[in-house]
Each structure stands twice: as structure tokens, then as C-alpha cells.
Chains A and B, each alone.
Chain A
Amino acid sequence: GAGVSQSPSNKVTEKGKDVELRCDPISGHTALYWYRQSLGQGLEFLIYFQGNSAPDKSGLPSDRFSAERTGGSVSTLTIQRTQQEDSAVYLCASSFGGRMYFGPGTRLTVL
């Protein structure tokens, strides 16, 4: 595709369930980022992958959050035992040559 894609676009889950959010970056982009956009909180950095280097996980809010990037392409953000405060829009971005391209996001609602 021409841009960063994310799936699902919307996810409603019950408190305590695990969820997986998927990001397909632009082909050839070596860097991939996850951000969280909460109401009234702006955009919060979560994790960053660059090529084959160890990811920068410094933004993950708790050990319930994890992410992986397989084959340097697709990434999955996993949230275990979801809490209501996890409700937000989760944005993925990829970059190449100094410019970031954001996906449309996954809106997660935890009931």
C-alpha cells in the first residue's frame, strides 16, 4: 500500500482481556514507532524500532505492554489484562530519510 496501515481501526474489549494491534509500515522504512493518543493527554511515545537494533521501550507505561516487529516489517503491539485507562487511539508511524508517516490509528475502548 501507499501508506502506513493499522488494524483493526476500532477495537472494543472488556477489562482484563488481552488485545493485539497491528501495524504495516511503508515498505522499505527501517524505523517504526508506536504512540498513544489519549483524550486530553496529547501524543505519548511508547516504543521505537530501528532496523535490527534493540527497540527503545522507554515509553511503555507498564509491563502489560509489549511490542514486536517481525522481519523488520510488520509490528504488533500487545496489551495484556487491559484496563480502562488503556482506552486511547494507538498510532503507528514509520520513517525514512527523516520524515515520519503516521497510520490512521486503532481506537481501543476498554469497557
Chain B
Amino acid sequence: AQSVTQLGSHVSVSEGALVLLRCNYSSSVPPYLFWYVQYPNQGLQLLLKYTSAATLVKGINGFEAEFKKSETSFHLTKPSAHMSDAAEYFCAVSVTGQGAQKLVFGQGTRLTINP
């Protein structure tokens, strides 16, 4: 079965610092991987997705993620945090195709930005 583990339910960084949110997946077949963001009182929004093309995926708002098969990881990074990045971030895996059927989500990581 496919699964996703997000290391750290809470991450706190200073404004301007590097953001690193960790995600490891388990899949018996090549996965499709996603990062979603949920701002307070809003629905989930797609940040970026990996679909077996380039291993470094660039998303919205300056975020990017790198697929590393050897490490079964898909960590999310942003070079310089902004206050507006404060939100909850979810990593997800789908193995049924880009159609994202039955996405399996991680537990989420709440990102706090300190001024």
C-alpha cells in the first residue's frame, strides 16, 4: 500500500530563512507526488506535483520540491520564507495516474513564520 510520512507536525522558521518540509513516501510502483497548502479557513491548493518528468519540480509562490528515488523522498523547500507562507502543508501520493485518484495524504506540517 502507498503511504506518506511527513516528518514534523510543526515547523517554525524566521522570516527570510530557508523553509524545508520533509516528506517520505512508500510505493511499490513509480509514484505521482503532490504538495498541497491549506491557508487558514481555506480549501487545499495545489503547490506542485511530480509526474516522472523532471525530478526538480517548481511550484507556485517560490516553492520547489525534489524527487529522490533512492531516498524515497519529496521534500518541499523555499529559499526565503515570507510571513504569508504560514499555513499547513500536505504531501500526497497517487499511483493511479495524474488523475490523482484516491490521493493518500501525509499528516500535514504546520508552518509558522517568526518575524
A42 near B108 with CB under 8 A, answer: yes
Residue of B nearest to A98 (CB): B98
Q: Which of B91-115 contact A (CB under 8 A)?
A: 92, 97-108
Total chain B interface residues with beta-carbon distance under 8 A? 22
Q: Which of B31-68 contact A (CB under 8 A)?
A: 36, 41-46, 51
Chain B contact residues: over half helix, strand or loop, or mixed? loop
A35 to nearest B CB, angstroms?
Answer: 8
Sample (20) of A-B pairs whose CB atoms are under 8 Å apart: A31-B101, A33-B102, A33-B103, A35-B105, A42-B106, A43-B92, A44-B105, A45-B102, A45-B104, A48-B102, A91-B43, A98-B97, A98-B99, A99-B46, A99-B100, A100-B46, A102-B36, A102-B44, A103-B43, A104-B43
Where the two chains meet, the residues of A that have a C-beta atom closer than 8 Å to any C-beta of B are 3-4, 31, 33, 35, 40-45, 48, 50, 56, 58-59, 91, 93, 95, 98-105
